Structure 1
């Protein structure tokens, strides 16, 4: 029995040693970084989360470009404006890929009373993307719509969680023993089923000479490319792109608007200045369009500062080097994950006068005119910049202005302090809160 245990210990130690030596050999190809542990890489040091504060500390030690090991997968991190800008634009085509994780294969299959603004905001924003994709809006009372929103929310929360990284380490163990993974699969099945029903409904009602929305145009492309062996247009990809558009078109914009209302109750003087500008320039009954931003410099500056200060995507979506390339003087092998720390750009003390304060003046000149800032990169930069940037900017502007034109937002009676510490996930949401919407 003793001999068996000794052999087992020897085997485990040897395996760990081999893995450690393998890491040391592979590290020579990449920028410097913290020492990875066998099997886990740097996940243990990061508490199984890619957190901006961890990255900030590592950058102080290893520089503005360094390597993290996510289990056995190297990820090159870009920290600060100059590193992110040069890293994603100097050889933009070389880092225009997207990495595939193991979880990817699952995913691709107003009366003045206190209220929680989450559902009204999410409902408003998601119905914009519904109109574009489906050609119709969902009722606020539709149970399937509520469950769809909850499913997308569950998926978004999962993608930067401990469970996500455990799944990447061992899909079998996570799939059998983690309730969160089983819940994700259930959400994906529900989403795909609902979207498939929506697709079938549109196929029946569709008139080929009347293209009304995204699904119609995609179905046209499927018809045009029938028989083409190289075509990628099919109903499976249609359902997947609809899910992608729905998540991307709802989660980030709704989260930013929730931060916007929270900041307005925290900074009532700023809210008042926005309302005074709206009243003076467009009046109380104006229907807003995106072009109005040019006449509303202070309001435009406030919206930009909300995006900068809330910084809901601390880390940009991962890129992948599609060939051997060079970033900031370091050789980067093909198929290397590249992570841009957007937080380090939007709070770069070399680019912002008061990076740790909510200050709309960051986007105003001395005469009160709106100015763009080169370090304002909430939608990232380079070949993989957010394709929904214009839609998001338009929604943020119109919804924010419409709400502040109609209501004054305050804290509920008796509430003196508000928690502004974000809820960590794939997007950084504000903690649940209530406010009062008082008609103006």
Structure 2
């Protein structure tokens, strides 16, 4: 008797969760328990990219699409400029998901700055920005550090060209990009052939390529990790995050052993001092696990999108040699061969800026926002958004809007050049997001991309090896979009 009652209760709960109230955003019907998991899988199989699947759903159902993925809270896909701006500018949508996968990545509890919210996020974010700024974040000192790393990269590339086509350009670019951030965070730099760092960057790349913004099966049906930990990816993912956690913990231990009280070499030193200062506070969010998580967030977010964007710039230019030639001509005219690119010259290089903007728009390295969470019950464009719903801003839908761009699939840097030959920013280009959760490393990322690209194109012409097929410009899907793997020949310019 009791067994029958329990089964009826469970069945009622399943059917209740399956229903779609009239105020819930439109979307595919789905199935009991698994919801829309199979619908999303089918669309991703057809389109090859999650972001393409979101655009397909927007075409069918409109700017606000509701999905139910397993037993997780519903996910709302927000597409189109107006809807995206409204969602990202409203503080009630500034939360972060609290699913299993979001806690697993930082030791079983939400920590750091990427996937926290509320007082912890505000305290950590404020401290991170203040401290990094004191060490040169966003000023001329930072520019010098970036330029030194860019020059080191060009020297390495020049050496590699003697050995034939370069097959690991993205890897060495990753280390070069990381170095300027790591100088602020840990006070050291790495050789471009550092084996330990190459291994950790490989781990980061594997995690990024094998995860997606929905959180995957470990978010939708987290109990499966107990049943099939290998098939769900739990075992491999946990091992990779543990390796990265240990790498950062080792760096922090070195700082603990070598720090001098009252003297601060870098961000880690200042954070350790803040931990000492707040050690007697019962409400402090500053501890070693938080420090590891913050450094981990800076490490991954600070490198992934920047190196992918630079990689896409090179990829597009090896295919679009006419555009590369125009960039070369502009650099030669403004800088020549000896003057180092600097931010002060940025406005005098409109075509380079336009090329970077156009690659950013088309490549969509971050095709959606990092997942947001509704902090309270609310509405969006007339649809009910309950507390703890997850929301994704579909940035690709804005960057590829045909009504605004006209020919969004065409690679045309001239769309960012006005009649006077000046570079013009377009408010429809929002790769760093909007609102309070806008990327905190935007300035550093923009400076990295501009200075590295200018230095590389001042020194080299990039071409494909003879017989190399044209790369697929759409890239490789994952949590972010990566450029396709390819070999390049770097020809030193006279």
Q: Normalized against structure 1, the TM-score is what?
A: 0.92
Residue 308 of structure 1 pairs with residue 361 of structure 2: yes
The aligned residue for residue 164 of structure 1 is: 216
State the partner residue of 2:351.
298
Which deviates more from structure 2 when the two are superposed, residues 42-51 or residues 346-355?
42-51
Kindly provide the CA deviation profile for residues 374-398 of structure 1, in whole angstroms up to 9, marking residues without a partner as x.
Answer: 1101111111111111111000000
Contact 1:315 1:339 (C-alpha < 8 Å) held by counterparts: yes
Q: Does 1:148 align with 2:200?
A: yes
SS at match of 2:426: coil
CA distance in 2 between counterparts of 1:238 and 1:125 reads 21
Q: Relative to 1, partners in 2 of residues 1:79 and 1:40: Cα closer, same or farther, differing over 3 Å?
A: same
Paired with 2:190 and 2:236, the residues of 1 have a C-alpha distance of: 24
Q: Does 1:409 align with 2:403?
A: no
Q: 1:22 aligns with which of 3, 17, 21?
A: 17
Matches for 1:272-291 after TM superposition, within 5 Å: 272-291=325-344
Is the 2:364–2:396 Cα contact (8 Å) retained in structure 1? yes
Q: Secondary structure at the match of 1:76?
A: strand
Higher alpha-carbon deviation: 156-165 or 366-375: 156-165
1:106 aligned residue: 104
Give ranges in structure 1 of 5+ residues lacking alignment: 1-6
Distance 1:423 1:66, change over 3 A: same
- 2:449 corresponds to which of 396, 399, 416: 396
Partner secondary structure for residue 432 of structure 1 = coil
Q: 1:22 to 1:194 in 2, by over 3 A?
A: closer
Aligned to 1:341: 394
Q: Which moved further from structure 2: 176-185 or 236-245?
A: 176-185
Task: Measure how far apart 1:55 and its partner are.
Answer: 1.9
Instruction: Report the equivalent of 2:423.
Output: 370
User: 2:52 aligned with 1:53, yes or no?
Assistant: yes
TM-superposed deviation, 1:17: 6.7
Measured after TM superposition, the shift of residue 187 of structure 1 is 1.3
Structure 2 alignment gaps of length 5 or more: 108-157
Shift of 1:289: 2.3
User: 1:208 Cα deviation (Å)?
Assistant: 2.9
Question: Structure 2 length normalisation: TM-score?
Answer: 0.82
Of 217-226 and 391-400, the range deviating more from structure 2: 217-226
* 1:387 maps to 2:422: no
Quote the residue 1:242 is aligned against: 295
Residue in 2 aligned with 1:350? 403
For the 8 Å contact 2:213–2:371, the answer to whether it is kept is no
Alignment RMSD, CA only? 2.3
The corresponding residue for 1:34 is: 28
Compared with structure 1, are the counterparts of its residues 183 and 413 closer, same or farther at alpha carbon in structure 2 (3 Å cutoff)?
same
User: Where in structure 1 do 4 or more consecutive aligned residues deviate above 6 Å?
Assistant: 10-14
